Structure 1
Amino acid sequence: MHNIRLDDVDHLPVDVLPIGTDYPPDHRLPRHAHRRAQLLYGAKGVMQVETDAGAWTVPPDRAVLIPPGVVHQVLMDDVTTWSLYIEPDAAPWWPANCMVAEIGSLLRELLRTANGFAVDYAVTGRDGAVIDLVLHELRRLTPMALSITLPRDEPLRSLCRDYLAAPDLAVTNETWARAVNHSARTFDRKFRAQTAASPAAWRARARLLASLRLLPGHTVTDVSSRVGYASPAAFTAAFTRAFGAPPSRYM
């Protein structure tokens, strides 16, 4: 199934609905929720998924597992998705919170195949076997540390959302404190209480997550300077500490 609305097929009596969708650059899906669990896989492009709890950056060949009923919005950057919408009873092991995971070659080809199914695909025979193997492989996924906590309350939440979308190297703690009419000390205390991180540490991680959107098609040297690092080596070291793999893994 390709470029069809979930609402048009959600009633079908199948445990898994595979739906592929093409999105233009800078496309934003507004806040919504699904009755089914969703595997949102990016075959092309970079996604940013946001819930009330935080934000998850999803580079190509990664997927985010979204629990049923969780309200979320997605920023798509020239993305092609191969999604699965799964009845909750068919995946009782689904994570309770959003989770980003790397998709290996076998699962990627299974997703490609499933997203080519007809709307009325047969749940027995080859099509059903593909879906069964997909569910088996999904249970083996392990989480990747590609998320960041967002403050619950405004205006802190909007400050962080704007920064995550377009990090500004000139922003300081004092800049943010003035923006919300707080003293630097009061702002720091409130920010730490809602994110468990200092504002400076939060911005540093946000810049690293933003670099994931820049790496495809750019050199490490270009990206490191754009996100505020003095050298590619310093950027690579910080990136590897944060995400467990060097930038080259995401290029």
Structure 2
Amino acid sequence: MDLQINDKVAIVTGSARGLGAATARKLAAEGARVVITDILAEQAEATAAALRAEGLQAHAIMADITQAADVQRLVDETIATFGGVHILVNNAGFPRDKYLVRMTEQDWDLVMEVMLKGTFLACRTVMPHFIDQGWGRIVNISSRAHLGNATQANYSAAKAGLIGMAKALAIEEGRYGITVNCVAPGFMETEMVQALSTYATIKERAIQMQPIKRVGKPEDIANAVAFLVAESAGFITGEVLHVTGGRYG
């Protein structure tokens, strides 16, 4: 299927590795010019270099998306490098899991800053360009955790907030040919998850609770994002696409 994104430029936040890297690879393989952006500068450049070695168009930019000046520089450099910006995938984020009575303000603030403030700043910065060109695609990477998980009051709240933000922006910006949607992953086998000491237990429990009896792969999320940014998905906005193997509770 031709996604018709050959002439499009995509920024994927938190894309040095994991779901973000897989998403950037998929969009690049479909013909987009992708910007790998992360606070992990060396890993971001390595990911971009690997894509370029495969003949794909990729550029790495180190940026802290919680800082407005960094986000402005990210967008400005993207436009200077590739001539525009058309797609934004808000993927950056991480958990700081604790029971509420043990959760510190820093645990709360770090998660909110990256996922909610970072997404707000990125959306606000690209939006004038999307409006001017009358076309844009934003996909927020939420999580099945938006339904609630024990020890994840901060993470669940932030992931639910990404959905609320997407629905508000879908209403606000639709008149300009801009769509805003979410992908909500379930259990995904990423480097970050595999590094957890409880990985084997979490994996076994997740598979037991899913109708589809395998773990999710980063490519499953990348394929969902690619569908939502396609030209043919232009009448889909304000939606949440769960990629969970059928698990919701």
TM-score w.r.t. structure 2 length?
A: 0.27
Larger Cα Rg: Structure 1 or Structure 2? 1
The structure richer in helix per residue is: 2
TM-score w.r.t. structure 1 length?
A: 0.27
Which gives a bigger RCO, structure 1 or 2 (Cα 8 Å, sep 6+)? 2
The structure richer in strand per residue is: 1
